[in-house]
Amino acid sequence: MQRILRSATALVAIAGLLDSGFAADSRPRVTSQPDPSADVAPYFVADTDARWSSAEWSMEDIEALRQKVKYVFVIFNENRSFDHEYGTFPGVNGLYSDGKQPRAPADTPGFIQTYADTATGNTITVRPFRVGPEQNASYKDSTDHSHKGLAAKLDVRNGVPQMDKFAEVEWRNYAKSGSAEGEKQGTQFARLVMAHIDCDTIPFFWRYASRFTIFDDIFATEDTPSTPNAIAMISGQSGETQWVKHPSSPYNPTETGHTGVINGSINGKTYAGVATTEGPPLVNDPQPWWGSEFDDSSATVREPTAPDENWDPNNIASNLTFASLPLTMMGGWISWFIAQDRNADLDLADVKSDIPFIAGLGGQPVQWRWYQNGYDHEPTDGSGVTSHIGYVSHHNGPQYFGYVANNPAEQANLRGEGDFFADIAKGALPTTGGVFYLRGGYYNLNYPRQTAVIQNPNYPNPKGLTQADRDKITRTKSGDDDHPSYSDSQLTEAMGARAINAIAANKDIWEHSAIIITYDESDGLYDHVPPRILSYGPDGLPLARGIRIPLILISPYARAHAVAHAEGDHNAIIETINMLFGLPALSSLPEEAQALAEGDSPTFNALAPPGFEQKYLGPRDTPSPITDSLLAGFDKARATGALPPLPASLATIPSEVVESFPHYGGKGCEAIGVTPENVRQNIPNMIPEGFNSLPATLPAYN
């Protein structure tokens, strides 16, 4: 009964969901995919079938789902746009179709992009093209995903992103040097940003998308690189609340930064003097305060500092002190939790009114963990040695919050990637359920036994990759979080498959699970769907939202072979967690609600174009037409027992397949029985002559 009626606030939020209406476009909230393959056909219900359940849920239906799902797993990957990975997936709003009907290039924003070649004066045209095993498409180089670069790529005019400057931004980044080498590199990056992959490269991900539900209208919360969106995964923002509450000047928010004396060594470098942290809202990739030169915690409790990360004093974030899921998940025990904090005055500065509000709701605490590669001792480390070699500290959202990283009762929830598999194997996940995030890192857990998957030894060098080329690829592209800078997509999907197999193998967990596969941001890769611009930051650039990202929902209670069109960002995941666990919306908490109201004022509106109102300077996890939950991906009939739940076998990929590279011998589409949309329409694939997907890693072949 406690789980049914945790808080009146949560029930009000759920009721709001019922009246939220459809997204801005004219599509139904969810539709079925075409042509189910033989493995999913027995569980498939078409949107023309009488058994198809509507997207409208009653309170009783939602309560039935809450009784079923008590484990939420978020496999949180890095840096891919939706069109880059799923632009040719059948049934979605992709590169060549709106999901139901083919769409011409002229009707697809940004499909045909141009830039002026300064060397020749010619206008160069670039359009999307598919790369696959022949181009070693499971690894590539990273494109511009800086805050300024992303804003330029969106090319917002009259409030609407045109999505037409991806190629030009990449070209100018390199060709502006005026050198022949820069122009060659700019040419390759202008092509690379428009390239996309399919089921021959990521067959496991496409298999999950085909068997369960894929969402095609989810965006990065912030129009920024990784750190702000890693933070937004648990808070629905990157610090807008803290910014609004401390606006010494909205144009130069120094009051949200901290100037102090530093004195210490980080990864062998000694720092001394005075420095200022980067204050919120964060728009770059600074390192967390906790573990930095500003952190005076004792060595026994300090957060780890990744050896390959930039810990210079000018690259450190302020201590984050606004609300997040780890705070609301303390529930009615919040007073006990915050009593453990080592410096409550510092860490709880902007949630003082939130704490009694959460305590008054009286809910049971929700257990959670954030598992990330390299955070602690990993299987790749020697006995007694913790190298942190795979750790990407600027991807660890909770480490930025003092009431997590400076509180032993909460700090214990931060663990390594290997700990996830160990905890599953020994039955150490809480029997009451909870929320569990999983992130990869610079190297996969089987490195160096498993390295980047080189399928074509004659690409990008037709004469054959040299041993030095091979060594560089395996050394720099063997990570498992899908970040193009250092990861391989097949190593990434193998990590996800191992995690999903482990969940599916445990009957008690699978039968009560919802698994979300999603990303932080787009890497600046082309996507054609304009995000809704919801806010502007201190620099006057669009802050929210960013480019569209993939999201797949896997659950015994998910729709089979479906596409959900609910609009949202990382707040949609938070909304779903709130709904399932009876948590109050972050945007309903007193401090956050106050900041949201105060942000819509002349001071902050002046940062945006004339007439724009800053209504979203804070979390937006209250259900609404522009920020929906993931409820559309669940099958009401399965939640209420009208249809049987989907079996674990539908989510399971045999281990011998997972561990065999390349997956399905490079013929993934054939193996999983999915025909990409461009193949369905017989659209020719035109790869630019001499294309090099590694223009920075192997520039000799530009």
pLDDT over 70 (residue 8): no
Q: Is the pLDDT of residue 21 over 90?
A: no
Top pLDDT among 118 and 49 is at 49
Is the model's pLDDT at 252 over the cut of 90?
Answer: no
Model pLDDT, residue 93: 98
Q: Residue 241 pLDDT more than 60? A: yes
Residue 17 pLDDT level (bands cut at 50, 70, 90): very low
Residue range 571-584: mean pLDDT, rounded: 98
User: How many C-beta neighbours within 10 Å does residue 48 have?
Assistant: 7
Pull the structure tokens for residue 689.
Answer: 């002559």
Region 15-26: what's the mean pLDDT?
A: 42
Task: Tell me phi and psi for residue 657, to 5 degrees.
Answer: -75, -45
Helix boundaries (H) for 556-618: 570-581, 590-599, 602-605
Question: What are the tens digits of pLDDT across the range 268-295?
Answer: 899 889 999 999 999 999 999 999 999 9
362: region left, alpha or beta (phi > 0 left; psi from -120 to 50 alpha): left
Q: Is the pLDDT of residue 169 over 60?
A: yes
Q: What local confidence, expressed as pLDDT, does residue 25 receive?
A: 60
Put the strands of the sheet holding 71-77 in their side by side order.
Answer: 30-32, 562-564, 213-215, 551-554, 513-519, 71-77, 434-439, 368-372, 414-416
- Each residue of 476-501: pLDDT tens digit? 999 999 999 999 999 999 999 999 99
Can you state the percent helix, strand and coil of the chain, rounding each to 5? 35, 15, 55
Task: State residue 380's pLDDT score.
Answer: 87
What pLDDT is recorded for position 411? 97
What percent of the chain has pLDDT above 90? 89
List the one residue out of 16, 153, 34 whose CA is nearest residue 673: 34
Torsion (CA) 3, 622, 640, 582 in degrees, nearest 10? 0
At 19, the pLDDT band (50, 70, 90 cuts) reads: very low
pLDDT of 542 higher than 70:
yes
* One-letter identity of residue 680: R
List alpha helices for 600-649, DSSP H.
Answer: 602-605, 636-640
| Burial degree of 409 (CB within 10 A; 0-12, 13-18, 19+) | middle
pLDDT in tens, 593-618: 999 999 999 999 999 999 999 999 99
What is the spatial distance between Cα 278 and Cα 250, in angstroms, rounded to a whole number?
Answer: 14
By DSSP bridging, strand 368-372 and strand 71-77 are unpaired
Residue 6 predicted with pLDDT over 70? no
Peptide bond into 172 cis (omega under 30): no
Q: Which residues contact 684 (CB under 8 A, 6 or more apart)?
A: none
Confidence at residue 4, expressed as pLDDT on a 0 to 100 scale: 35
Task: Lowest mean pLDDT of 295-304, 542-551, 691-700, name the range.
Answer: 295-304
pLDDT digits (tens, 9 = 90+) for 399-440: 999 999 999 999 999 999 999 999 999 999 999 999 999 999
Report the candidate in 310, 334, 315 with the shortest Cα–Cα distance to residue 323: 334
What's the confidence (pLDDT) of residue 625?
83
Give burial (CB, 10 Å; 0-12/13-18/19+) of 312: middle
Planar angle of CA 517, 519, 525, nearest 5 degrees: 130
- Please give the average per-residue pLDDT across 210-235, as a whole number: 98
Element of type H or E holding 462 = none
| pLDDT at res. 90 | 98
Report pLDDT for 640. 97
pLDDT at 254 over 70: no
Give residue 5's pLDDT band: very low, low, confident or very high (50, 70, 90). Answer: very low
pLDDT reported for residue 248: 76
Predicted pLDDT at 296: 86
What pLDDT sits at residue 382?
84
The Cα–Cα gap between 194 and 200 comes to 18
Mean pLDDT computed over every residue of the chain = 94
Inter-CA distances, 190 with 153, 172, 202, 487, 696, Å: 12, 9, 23, 21, 13
Q: Tokens 């476009």 correspond to what residue?
A: 25
The pLDDT score that the predictor gives to residue 211 is: 98
Q: Where are the domains of the chain?
A: 8-247+493-701
Question: pTM for the full model?
Answer: 0.96
Q: What amino acid occupies position 245?
A: K
